[in-house]
Copies of this chain bind each other. A is one copy, B any other.
Amino acid sequence: MAEARKILLPADEFPKTWYNIVPDIAKTGKKLAEPKDSGRLNRMKEYVAPSLLAQEKSGAIEVPIPDEVRIHLIRTGRPTPLQHAVRLESHLKTPAKIYYKREDIGYSTDSKLTTAVAQAYYVINDGFEKIVGGGGARWGTSLSIAATRIGLKCDFIMPQSYLTLKEPHRILMEVNKTNVFGSPSDLTEVGRKVKESKKYETGNISLAMSEAVERAMEEKKSAFSFGYLFNFVMLHQTLSGVEAKRQFEMIDRYPDVVICPIDDFGFALPFVADKLAGKKPETRFIVTQSKYVPVLTEGKLDYDHADYAELTPLYRFHTLGRSFDPPMIHAGEMRYHGVPPILSHLVEAGIVEVRTYAQTECFEASWEWCRQQGVIPSHETQYVIKAVIDEAVKAKEEGKEEVIVFNNAGHTMLESSGYLELIVDKKLKLP
């Protein structure tokens, strides 16, 4: 029988540490820019778990993963398989070898669940009773799972339009006893003001984030939680990359190209470590963004707030401006004005290349992926798959047996509206 091309890491080899790139960043020739605005930095202690703030600026390269976090993650399906996409390769007639990490097993997205479980763990350990999140639908679903498993109450604020557009996610959050609110909401001063102004009626991620921060600040024993931007989020999300590196060792291979969407670059960091250390200088890194939110190409690399209402400190990253109102693309988690400071730094340092795509071409690439590999990728991962196919076709033209890897982070089973517009209605509002 032919080989199954599924590389399984046994649960007893579950990584014991996350990889922290922050101290290693200096190897690019420049240290990571510190956040500014000490007033706002100090106030973070009121609404962010101290353990997470400590991780945010940790100087350790290997950060231990608490046993309880490891057990919860194993129970939710980790470690996930590294899979060889043989059918897509033969369909494309490419000499490239395409590997993907299957981070789409759960009903949220494993890469988001990874940091949600870790954050919930620190939040409850630091004495909080509720976790308050703001952001996209898949982040909310992940947080609701983490909260219910760890034993925290949970409030989640997401853009108003997602209440209907991503309703199945909302239902699952409610099954997990999370209270879901649409932003702009009446819950917060920020929300009420924006509602009055009639701006941002459909809501957006940075506004939802402001509301979540305000709510967590005002409620005693509530901690804010965000699935993007912060160093500790990327730290937790290196887990799938640490696993993938070990899985590549098991088959004696190493990737030539690592491809990620802007909201899931943690996966690439353990491979970036080898490049920065001079061990693998030739590895290429590609990040994909939407042409409707071209933050890495048209954004300004400067200090900005993470949230619309300027409740958070100033961080240095590529930004379209915190009051940028992104159009309604289907990749909800990518509707945000900035990218994580770590990613900005790596793009600035020339370590990471950027690819920009429209929606339709990404849908088409992902359908081929679905037909060949049997997985319906998340909207965000569709951008990566478009880049993977482009790279594999280029490898064919150049006759290169390049090893490509990506993180198949999540599925769209709970978000069929994009497919509806494109397949059933034969029109897509934004191509």
Contacts and interface: CB of A to CB of B under 8 A. Distances in A.
Interface of A: 1-2, 4-6, 8, 11-12, 14, 67, 70-71, 74-77, 86-87, 105-107, 145, 148-149, 167-168, 170-172, 174-177, 367, 370-371, 374-376, 411, 413-414, 416, 419-420, 423-424
B167 A370 contact: no
A1 B11 CA distance: 10
14 contacts: A1-B12, A1-B14, A1-B70, A1-B71, A4-B71, A5-B75, A6-B11, A8-B8, A107-B375, A171-B419, A171-B420, A174-B423, A175-B367, A413-B413
A2 B416 CA distance: 38
A175 B370 contact: yes
A70 B3 CA distance: 11
A171 B106 contact: no
A424 B176 CA distance: 14
A245 to B, nearest CB: 21
Residue of A14, A77, A375, A420 with most partner-chain B CB within 10 A = A77
Contacts of A87: 75, 149
A106 B104 CA distance: 10
A374 B70 CA distance: 16
Nearest to A170: B424
Contact of A374 (B67, B149, B370, B423): B149
Contacts of A416: 167-168, 171, 414
Task: Identify the interface centre among A71, A168, A177: most chain B CB within 10 Å of its CB.
Answer: A168
B145 A374 contact: yes
A311 to B, nearest CB: 31
B1 A374 contact: no
B413 A374 contact: no
A261 to B, nearest CB: 20
A5 B414 CA distance: 28
A181 to B, nearest CB: 14
Contacts of A106: 374
A413 B168 contact: yes
Contacts of A171: 416, 419-420, 423-424
A107 B410 CA distance: 12
A376 B419 contact: no
